[in-house]
């Protein structure tokens, strides 16, 4: 998973809309020019680390989600999900069996 400036801009736009904010109000909250903020949302400009931090606080999301679109706890690409589910299932069975002995 790589940083995609356009997808990141779309996520930022969606988060702003969900929060019920205008571009103007968001730009004011970030202390930046509205036209610059508009270019961020369209993927024409990237954000500084400081700006990403401000956005994550403003929207109440992780930096991981804001920048990469990945939710906390999400498995990286290539993870063997069926194998992990099977292993977790086996661990649960072992714990339940152990619980019966207590």
- Do the beta carbons of residue 34 and residue 23 sit within 8 Å? yes
Task: Name 72's Cβ contacts closer than 8 Å, sequence gap at least 6.
Answer: 62, 64, 65
What does pTM read for this prediction?
Answer: 0.69
Measured distance CA(40)–CA(94) in Å, rounded: 50
DSSP secondary structure of 40-74? HHTTSS---HHHHHHHHHHHT--HHHHHH-PPTTP
User: Please, what are the domains in the chain?
Assistant: 5-74 (1.10.260.40)
CA 72 – CA 61 distance, rounded (Å): 10
Taking only the tens place, the pLDDT of each residue in 24-75 is 999 999 999 999 999 999 999 999 999 999 999 999 998 989 998 877 555 5
């Amino acid at each position: 998973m790589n940083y995609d400036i356009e997808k990141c801009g779309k996520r930022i736009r969606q988060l702003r809309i969900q929060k019920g904010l205008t571009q103007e109000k968001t730009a004011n909250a970030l202390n930046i020019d509205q036209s610059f903020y508009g270019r961020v949302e369209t993927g024409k400009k990237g954000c500084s680390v400081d700006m990403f931090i401000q956005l994550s606080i403003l929207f109440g999301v992780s930096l991981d989600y804001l920048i990469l679109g990945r939710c906390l706890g999400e498995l990286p690409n290539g993870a063997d999900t069926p194998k992990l589910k099977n292993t977790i299932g086996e661990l649960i069975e072992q714990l339940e069996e152990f619980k019966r002995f207590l």
